[in-house]
Amino acid sequence: MISDISFKIVKKLIDKSLINDTDEELYAYGLFVLLSQILYFILTITTGFLFNIVLEGMIFYIAFQFIRRYAGGIHASSELKCEIATTTSIFICLLCTKLCETNNIQTPILVLTIIAAVSIFVFCPLDTPEKPLTKEEYKYFRKISWVILLFTMLAICIGWYLKFEFLMYPCCMSLILESILLVLGKIKRLIKK
């Protein structure tokens, strides 16, 4: 798993006296985040090659990472579940992007995207019990999420108007996936209460 690799690398850096052992967890977490981003980007590009939509894959990944970082959403209970869910989500979103381009199903996707955008607008940001947001952080993340949502919707509108499906569909998929994660996160939180 990625966290094991991160800790092994950090241990080697500590053994070589390149970093201080008091910061071990901080370095391991930072490396974990970096390695995760690289791994999922490579996975997205590989899946994009598989479906012959590499550019769309990159657009999806970038759009999704921006909105996910600030809007939040459900988190898996273990690293393995997270890796499986993330891999599956990327694969499904890129498969849907390919199917949308092949079958030209703009209207249903745009309707789903509008519903997704409303969900994100209403529910963001969603923090975690492990890292709850302060009132100021909540306001900050909400504003940033709304700005990212606005720019993503603008990209979708431009893609629709100019018939740039390579831009429109992956942006739509990023918002649809994020809204699913937000709604599931809200449901999970309600069930726990």
Compute the mean pLDDT over every residue in the chain, rounded to the nearest whole number: 92
pLDDT above 90 coverage of the chain, percent: 67
Give residue 28's pLDDT band: very low, low, confident or very high (50, 70, 90). confident
Rg over CA atoms, the chain: 18
For residue 111, is pLDDT > 80?
yes
Confidence of residue 98 (pLDDT cuts 50, 70, 90): very high
Cα-based angle 184, 187, 192 (whole degrees, multiple of 5):
125
- Per-residue pLDDT, averaged over 19-36, amounts to 83
Q: How far apart are CA 61 and CA 84, in angstroms?
A: 16
| Torsion of Cα atoms, 176 then 178 then 181 then 185, to 10° | -130
Per-residue pLDDT reduced to its tens digit, 43-91: 999 999 999 999 999 999 999 999 999 999 888 888 889 899 999 999 9
Task: Name residues whose C-beta falls within 8 Å of residue 28's C-beta, 6 or more positions apart in sequence.
Answer: 3, 6, 7, 10
CA distance 60 to 175: 9
pLDDT digits (tens, 9 = 90+) for 126-156: 987 777 889 999 999 999 999 999 999 999 9
Contact 125, 133 (CB under 8 A): yes
Q: Using CA of residue 169, residue 170, residue 173, residue 175, what is the dihedral sign?
A: negative
pLDDT at 157: 97
